[in-house]
Structure 1
Amino acid sequence: MDGRAVVVGGGIGGLAAAIGLRRVGWEVTVVERASTLADAGAGISLAANGLRALDALGVGGAVRQASRGQYTGGTRTPDGRWLTRMDGAVLERAVGTPIVGIPRATLHRLLREALPAEALLTGSHVGSVRQTGPRTVHVTCGDTVLDADLVVAADGIGSKVRGLLFPAHPGPVHSGSTVLRAITERAVDLRTDFELTWGHGAEFGHIAFHDGRAEWHAVLDLPAGTRFADPVAELRRRFRTWHEPIPALLDATRPTAVLHHDVDELRTPLPSYAVGRIALLGDAAHAMTPHLGQGACQALEDAVTLAAALASGPTVDAALVRYDAERRPRSQAVARAARQAGRMGQRLSHPLAVAVRNTMMRLTPSSAATRMILRHHDWTPPHLR
């Protein structure tokens, strides 16, 4: 089965969906409101499920080449003591790959390069998406009207298309946290590939890249809309007593390079990821908190599953029923697990609760911790012809 598809949104999920649809014979146009498709995000970790999805899309090798494996690291307390150690080699033996770290802009570029330039319609705002018949959807972009057999809404957490499909849904809500992140301007002397440090209502972490630079992030329990005139100075103040390399990472960062976003989530699950011939994908369908590092990986799973369902048919409607049945339970379960991980990790602030958690983490066998990770990472993609 083939046809014409319009993908609304040119982020990681939207580009991946376009690649997958083209691989199974569909004609695809990606509509993106930004005039230039260049992701401004900092860095990203990709687990085995995300990498396997990229393999199915034909870009896994290029992504691995541009990534750095996360073999060493773990979770620490602000004074530097280890709560858990990470052994990437164990994960690699279990699922065939370690977790990898890559600049988000690099991943975005590699996905763009897998599509022909004519498939990307940039600088276009989607005005409306309407199913005008049993088999046709109209997408208006200014004076342009695109007719499609399928529309994929990959327009992010604030999805306009989701709002059109589910006007009574409450939409995204603030999780109670805000995140600041950046990539260092220069290489930093790091002893580990990946770290998280948990304090009281705060988290600081880093991902090392293959060129010696690193992405760092700081998650703080703060009201929505909180912003700082000098974010690096504010973080130096808040984390002044925390262990190295946190001060070194901040010292290697330009204040203008810091991105600051409130952490929102789609806390009320959607009743379906498909309405008529319109499918929701990625954050538009299941925006989650970042505490498991699974947001992009789940979007990549969505993209491959959608393409495989459409490849096997027998109709678009049947394929979307299958897509919803396969993706909604898993992605919503991961979103719940991410929320719970935040409550037990970064968001935990009571001193007694923090002490109990830390003790339990130190006493948990590494094998049990690995099994918990594999619960989300060990996913096998469907075959794309």
Structure 2
Amino acid sequence: MMNKLKIERRTSNTSNTLINNNRAEITDVLIAGAGISGLVAGLCLHRAGFSVRIHERAQKLEETGFGVNLQPYCVKLLYELGLESEMNEAGICNNKAVFYSSHGQFVYQDPRGLDAGYKWPMYSLHRGRFQQLLLRHVHEEMGAEVVRLGQKLVTFRLQPHHVEVDFMNSITGDIDTERAKVLLAADGINSTVRKILYPDEGPPLWQGITMWRGVTRMDKLYLDGRTMIFAGNPDDRQLIVYPVSEQLVNWAFTVRIQEPGVRPAPVATDWHHLGHIEDVLPLLWNIKLDFLDIDNLVNSSIIVNQFHVTDRNPLPRWTYDRVTLIGDAAHPMSPYGGNGASQAIIDARDLLLAFRTHGITPTGLEKYDQLRRTVSQSYILAAREFGPEKILKIVAERSPFGFQNLSEVISSEEIDETFSVYRKQVNWNAEKLNQEPALF
């Protein structure tokens, strides 16, 4: 952990680097990163009356990426921010997740969203489209000048009453210094701020599984057009399919390529690394679904990416004085269970709750840390155990060649108990959520 209050400035190696150190204005909250967590945090804090600036290292925010799932517990907040109608236009309200063996044999159907008793649906939508939706609201409500692109965080220095943050212009290499009461690091799994706070942590962690992801256009969606599909064994080979719009389907295929066990990732985590269809198809031969042409689904993909499934160990602390971590910078988790983006959104809610009580102060950040860190840890660990998809691992290990009767492999009571344990582990509780007061 960083043990010095003052961090030395890092500057460009370019000899003509310009350092702008004359900004007198002190913003309430400075956010590093314009991903989902940074944009939602910005909207929440602005709505509460705080001044916010957002700096993003990318020079342009394009509508790229794949599917993202938003659980009811975060959709509640998004509705309170006034996003309901646009989310309905942008995504799909999936109402169930259905689990199949690799042989296409039905195992379990798990209701989601409204069908699970929540007052709010579960959404699946294109990540890039969702980010653009959030960015549009930031521009409309806060002003286009609030988000500055092409600004890479280099370092920060803690002062008695504020934090100074150096950003490098990605084109010129010039350094610009911003001042704020607090810094929120929403800079992702490869967070610069996290690396400053924990210089010995090393790269993200890997459990020996690689993933291909794709998006395919379909004139007619499979089944009822509102169903998530999980088929196979998450500890070996598994296919995940779900619609993200009325004509787009997201698919993900995971394959174990090394033995189980947590180890440093052999390459940097890059979710934009291009994959190849010809590498995927030979691996899919043993997964069958009567209602879906899997080969055509993959062959027709608009784009395919490939990357290792990674996360990081939970930290003993996110907050250091006037600096804290949010989103994937704080709690990157593997995709099993589909909670990563939803947890990033809940970070924004609890930040605001802490600030309302303690102000924009180090004490407020410490309270946020207490509210979120232990809770998010349970999601990280649950995802390492494959989340609700663990049921398919159990079935595959007991019946590798399929089954005549599911009850001979696993009882309905054991299935129900497996899902019940997971729901408790990640606090999926419709009755409790339905009674929570609105944030705004």
| TM-score between the two structures when normalised by the length of structure 2 | 0.78
Q: CA deviation at 1:349?
A: 9.8
SS at match of 1:114: helix
- 1:100-111 to structure 2, matched below 5 A, reads 100-111=123-134
Deviations 1:86-118 (A, max 9, x none): 3347x5352223322111111111110111211
Shift of 1:341: 2.2
2:390 to 345, 353, 373: 345
1:298 maps to 343
From 138, 145, 148, the equivalent of 1:118 is: 145
- CA change 1:17–1:314 in 2 (3 A) is closer
Higher helix share: 1
AA partner of residue 156 (structure 1): G
Q: CA, structure 1 residues 147+175, in 2 after alignment: closer, same or farther (shift >3 Å)?
A: same
Q: Deviations over 1:195-230 (max 9, x none)?
A: 011236111111113322201111111364599996
> What is the match of residue 325 of structure 1?
370
- Equivalent in the alignment of 1:307: 352
**Amino acid across the alignment from 1:316:** T
Q: Is 1:11–1:39's contact at 8 Å kept on the other side of the alignment?
A: no
**Partner of 1:360 in structure 2?**
410
Aligned-pair CA distance for 1:250? 1.0
Tell me if structure 2 keeps the 8 A contact 1:201–1:349. no
CA distance in 1, matches of 2:131, 2:177: 27
1:119-153 Cα offsets, whole Å, 9 max, x none, are: 1110111111221x122111111221111111000
User: What is the total number of aligned residue pairs between the two structures?
Assistant: 379
Q: Deviations over 1:149-171 (max 9, x none)?
A: 11000111111101111223345
Answer yes or no: is the 8 Å Cα contact 1:47–1:377 preserved in 2.
no
Structure scoring higher RCO (CA < 8 A, sep ≥ 6) equals 1
Residue correspondence of structure 1 range 23-102 to structure 2 within 5 A:
23-88=47-112, 92-102=115-125
Matches within 5 A, 1:140-219: 140-142=166-168, 143-192=175-224, 193-199=227-233, 201-219=236-254
Q: Does 1:260 align with 2:260?
A: no
- Alpha-carbon distance in 2 for matches of 1:230, 1:290: 18
Q: State the 1:189 CA deviation.
A: 4.0
Distance in structure 2 (CA, Å) of the matches to 1:263 and 1:348:
17
Q: Which residue of 1 aligns with 2:281?
A: 236
- The 3 A distance-change label for structure 1 pair 125 and 172 is same
Q: CA deviation at 1:292?
A: 1.0
After superposition, the Cα gap between the structure-2 partners of 1:61 and 1:320, relative to the gap in structure 1 and judged at 3 Å, is farther
Sort the Cα spacing of 1:194 and 1:39 in 2 relative to 1 into closer, same or farther, 3 A.
same
What secondary structure sits across from 1:107 in the alignment? helix
Amino acid at match of 1:249: L
State the distance in 2 between where 1:345 and 1:323 align.
31
- Name the SS for the 2:193 alignment partner: helix
Residues 1:376 and 2:421 are matched in the alignment: no
CA distance 1:230–1:32, shift in 2 (3 Å):
closer
Provide the identity percentage: 23
Q: Is the 8 A contact 2:91 2:123 kept in 1?
A: yes
Cα deviation code 1:292-311 (max 9, x no counterpart):
10000100000111122112
| 2:161 equivalent in structure 1 | 135
Aligned-partner residue type, residue 377 of structure 1: W
Distance 2:29 2:359 in 1: 16
Which residue number corresponds to residue 330 of structure 2? 285
- Letter paired with 2:125: I
**CA–CA separation in structure 1 for the residues paired with 2:95 and 2:200:** 45
Q: Distance in 1 between matches of 2:219 and 2:78?
A: 28
Q: 1:276 aligns with which of 297, 321, 327?
A: 321
Question: Helix, strand or coil for the counterpart of 1:376?
Answer: coil
Contact 1:84 1:361 in 2 (8 A): no
d(CA) in 1 for partners of 2:437 and 2:120? 18
> Which has more radius of gyration?
2
Q: 1:59 Cα deviation (Å)?
A: 2.4
How far apart are the structure 1 equivalents of 2:117 and 2:417? 11
For structure 1, the residue ranges without an aligned partner over 5 or more in a row are none
Q: Is the 8 A contact 1:202 1:218 kept in 2?
A: yes
The change in CA–CA distance for 1:161 and 1:118 in structure 2 (over 3 A counts) is: same
Q: CA 1:129/1:349 → structure 2, altered by over 3 Å: closer, same or farther?
A: farther
Alignment root-mean-square deviation, CA: 3.1
